[in-house]
Amino acid sequence: MLKFVVPLIAFGLLVGVFIKGLDPERDLKKLPSPFLGKEAPHFDLPRLKVPNERISNQAYDGEVAIVNFWATWCVGCRQEHGFLMELSRTSDVPIYGIDWRDQREPALQWLSQLGDPYVASGFDADSVTGINWGVYGAPETFLIGKDGRVLLKHLGPLSRDAWENDFLPAIVAAEGNQP
Amino acid sequence: MSRLFLGVIFLLVGWSVWAIDTGRAFEDDEMQARYVEIISEVRCVQCQNQTIKDSNVQIASDLRREIRRLLSEGKTNAQVFEFLVQRYGDFVLYRPPMSGFSLLLWIAPGLFLLIGGIVAARVISKRMTMPLDVDDDEIDQVTS
C-alpha cells in the first residue's frame, strides 16, 4: 500500500509545483517588492510645482496614502491618468506623485493639460528616490498605511480592476483599525 | 563610395560602444576591477536577461551611478549588494544566495539523486534475495 501512496503523494506535490510555476497568469516581469509590510523608504524631494519647497514621507504621516511614480515619457502613466483624476475626485485617499526621471517643464505642462490628481508631487530627476523605493518602470503605485508601511505595490497602469480588487480591501482593512 | 561603405561598417561595428558609459569609472585599478565585478553580477530589473554592465536602459545606468557612488564612499562589495537586494530583492543577483526558496533549488538535484539511489538500491537488493521462481526439477533439467 505504502509502495503506491508515497510516490503518488510525491508526484502530486511535483505537479503542484509545476502548475504554480507554469501559471499563465503569472507575469515574470513583475517583481514582488521587498518593501511589502515594511516601512516605506525615506524620501525628501523638491516639490514639482514649488521647487523651493520640499516634500517627504511626513506629508502623509499618520494617514493611508497612495504614492504614484509617474513621468511624462511614460505611456502607462498617460493610460492611468484619467483613472487617477477620477480617484482624486471620488476617493478619500490622498494621492502623492513622484515625478521620476523627468524634466520639470514638460511635467508641469502635463499636469496643466491633463489635470493634476496629486495632492503634491516630488521631483526626482536623477532617480535617487526611485532607486531607494526599488522602482524600475513607471508607473508604479504604492499603498502606504497609517504607520508608514508599504501595504501594496502595483506595477503598470493603475486599473479599475486593481483598485477594486486589491486597493479597496487593503484600504478598508487599514482604515478599519481606527475611524 | 568605398569610403562611405567603410564608414558605415565602422559605425556598425562600433555600435555597442555608443550605448553604455564604457569609460573607466575609477582611476584606481583595484576599484575599477571591483566596480566591473559588481556590475557584471547585477541583473537589470527592466531587461531581465542582461546584467547592468551590458544594458543601456536608464535604470541600469542609474544603478551603475549608485554603485559608483557607494564604492567611492568606501562601501564593501557585500554592502553594495545588500543595498541592491534591500531595494530590488534577491532577483537582482545573478548568483542568488543559498537561502529560502532558492536553497531548495540548489539542493534539489542532490536530493533527487539520493532518493533515486536509495530506491534503486532497495529494489536491486530485494531482487537479489528473491527466490528464483522455478522449482528444483527445472534447475536439474537445465543443468544436466
**In three state form, how does the secondary structure of chain B look?**
CHHHHHHHHHHHHCHHHHHCCCCCCCCCHHHHHHHHHHHCCEECCCCCCCECCCCCCHHHHHHHHHHHHHHHCCCCHHHHHHHHHHHHCHHHECCCCCCHHHHHHHHHHHHHHHHHHHHHHHHHHHHHHCCCCCCHHHHHHHHC
| Contact (CB<8Å) A131/B86 | no
* Set of chain B residues whose Cβ sits within 8 Å of the Cβ of A127: 58-59, 62
**Closest CB from A31, A41, A126 relative to B88:** A31
Whether residue B58 lies within 8 A of chain A, CB to CB, comes out as yes
Return the C-alpha cell found at A59: 506629508
A73-120 tens-digit pLDDT:
999 999 999 999 999 999 999 999 999 999 999 999 999 999 999 999
**Closest CB from A28, A131, A133 relative to B62:** A131
Return the C-alpha cell found at A13: 506535490
Phi–psi pair at B132, nearest 5 degrees: -65, 140
Q: Which ranges of chain B have pLDDT less than 50?
A: 17-19
Antiparallel, parallel or unpaired: β A140-144 and A120-124? unpaired
Which CATH number is A28-177 given? 3.40.30.10
Scan residues 72-91 of B and list those with Cβ closer than 8 Å to A: 85-89, 91
Q: Which of A33, A129, A136 to mutate to test the interface with B (most CBs of B within 10 A)?
A: A136
A41: closest CA among A158, A153, A166? A153
What residues pair up with A122 in beta bridges, in sequence order? A47, A98
Q: How far is the alpha carbon of A166 from chain B, nearest alpha carbon, in Å? A: 22
Looking at chain A, list the stretches that DSSP marks H as alpha helix, in order from N- to C-terminal side: 2-21, 75-90, 104-114, 128-132, 160-162, 168-176
A interface toward B at CB cutoff 8 Å? 28-29, 31-34, 41, 101, 126-127, 130-134, 136-137
pLDDT of res. A137: 87
Q: Which of B46, B58, B83 to mutate to test the interface with A (most CBs of A within 10 A)?
A: B58
A123-168 tens-digit pLDDT:
999 999 999 999 988 899 999 999 999 999 999 999 999 999 999 9
**Closest CB from B46, B65, B85 relative to A136:** B46
Angstrom distance (rounded) from CA A170 to CA A154: 13
Name the pTM for this structure.
Answer: 0.77
> What are the domain boundaries of chain A?
28-177
pLDDT of res. A179: 43
What residues pair up with A28 in beta bridges, in sequence order? none
The complex's ipTM works out to 0.81
